[in-house]
Amino acid sequence: MPATASAALDPDELLTPQEASAVVKLSVYTLRDKRSQGRGPRFIKLSPGRGGRIRYRRRDIDAWLENAQSKGEH
């Protein structure tokens, strides 16, 4: 199993959408669209409502990237 660049980092670290988009190399808007379609990495909503704060666990980003790579998705 190939290791991701963030494998040595804390897997429980919470990333903002901006930080997560830099890791996955997608725009914040593309990441938001994937989230709303249920096709993006798992996320946590820290506050309720439409404008609630979103965070991503580093391990969920890594798992999503590995899954996409194994499926040949870009």
Return d(Cα 65, Cα 71) in angstroms, integer: 10
Asked if the model's pLDDT at residue 62 lies above 80, the reply is yes
The verdict on residue 65 lying in a domain is: yes
The verdict on residue 34 lying in a domain is: yes
Domain that holds residue 18: 14-70
The verdict on residue 46 lying in a domain is: yes
DSSP assignment, residue 55?
E
Confidence (pTM)? 0.79
Average pLDDT, the chain: 88
Confidence of residue 74 (pLDDT cuts 50, 70, 90): low
pLDDT for residue 5: 52
Measured between alpha carbons, how far is residue 11 from residues 41, 52, 58 in Å?
A: 14, 23, 5
Cα-to-chain-centroid distance, residue 9: 15
SS (H, E, C) 5-53: CCCCCCCCCEECHHHHHHHHCCCHHHHHHHHHHCCCCCCEECCCCCCCC
User: Does 5 or 42 have the greater pLDDT score?
Assistant: 42
